[in-house]
Amino acid sequence: MKLTLGFSPCPNDTFIFDALIHHKIDTEGLTFEVSYDDVETLNQKALRGELDITKLSFHAFAYVANQYALLDAGSALGFGVGPLLISKNHFEGAADPQLQAPNNTLKIGIPGKYTTANFLLGIAYPHLQNKQELVFSAIESALLNEEIDLGLIIHENRFTYQDKGLTKIVDLGDYWEKLTGCAIPLGGIVINRNLDREIQLKVNRLIRKSVEFAFAHPKSGIDFIRQHAQAMEESVMYKHIELYVNKYSINLGEEGRKAVDTLFKLAQERGIIPAIQENLYI
């Protein structure tokens, strides 16, 4: 049986899925047709219901929970892994009054409307509404060219922005952790609810095995990871993996599910996402 599978070319995802798609583990009769896309493209594909299994932002998941269920394996959660709000110009840190001023005209580059990063920005700074959607890798350049005033960065850019003379205004992951005490849920792996329950459970089991294989053989997928990471230095690739792949990627567990539930509860209370009727999990 062949299933369509979408994930990003970022090192954390290629690290997780290498063993699965290259049959380094027994895939129990399943094969996968893979799409490699940035997270916002994956979010949009999920909104259109295009894939059987996909990585997506937890923010986007709120809008497709009627069609997709969250797997316990493959998620990106953690402490100290949140998006950063950065700038080229001087702001007086997180408490700068410009950031909280109603009707301000500051232009913010965001990595996508449905990203969890944008969701957190909305909670922390509800008055920052003048947003421009950019591919995440283009945000630093837009700041340097003064096309935007602030940039919301994710992924490997958190390791490179300082080298380009850019300054952190606030770590939204730190903001979330202080607000809730939970790990920050960034992205998860979801599966179409129309697939047989047996298939859903099998896919969850296989992704868990793929993550466990990657941890046991961390160099096994290096060529595959490097191929999709393009010009990224190997040291940055492994920092990226260490940051986003952890125990929650093997199994959300009670702590991981609590973090996800907290995210959706808070978002619903603030009117950021609609109420969700379905059980989120497989």
H, E, C per residue of 121-188? HHHHCCCCCCEEECCHHHHHHHHHCCCCCEEEECHHHHHCHHHHCCEEEEEHHHHHHHHHCCCEEEEE
pLDDT in tens, 19-39: 999 999 999 999 999 999 988
Q: What is the pTM of this model?
A: 0.87
User: What is the pLDDT, as a whole number, of residue 82?
Assistant: 87
Domain ranges of the chain: 2-78+184-269, 84-180
pLDDT in tens, 77-106: 999 888 999 999 878 778 888 888 888 899
Report the percent of the chain where pLDDT is more than 90. Answer: 72
**2-78+184-269 and 84-180: same fold?**
yes
User: What is the pLDDT, as a whole number, of residue 231?
Assistant: 67
Q: Point out the catalytic residue in the list 23, 59, 127, 155.
A: 155
Q: Would the annotation count 57 as a binding residue?
A: yes
Q: How far is CA 212 from the centre of its chain?
A: 20
Q: Would the annotation count 167 as a binding residue?
A: no
Q: Which CATH number fits domain 2-78+184-269: 3.40.50.970, 1.20.1250.20, 3.10.130.10, 3.40.190.10?
A: 3.40.190.10
Average predicted confidence (pLDDT) for the chain: 93
Q: How far apart are CA 57 and CA 13, in angstroms?
A: 13
Neighbours of 47 (CB within 10 A): 14
Indicate the fold that domain 84-180 takes in CATH.
D-Maltodextrin-Binding Protein; domain 2 (3.40.190)
Q: Would the annotation count 116 as a binding residue?
A: yes
Q: Would the annotation count 117 as a binding residue?
A: yes
Q: How far apart are CA 163 and CA 166, in angstroms?
A: 7
pLDDT in tens, 127-179: 899 999 998 889 999 999 999 999 999 877 888 899 999 999 999 999 999 99
In three-state form (DSSP H/G/I as H, E/B as E, the rest C), the secondary structure along 211-261 is HHHHHHCCCCCHHHHHHHHCCCCHHHHHHHHHHHCCHHHHCCHHHHHHHHH
Query: In the annotation, is 155 catalytic?
Result: yes
Average pLDDT over residues 244-256: 97
Q: Are 84 and 171 in contact (CB under 8 A)?
A: yes
Q: Would the annotation count 115 as a binding residue?
A: no
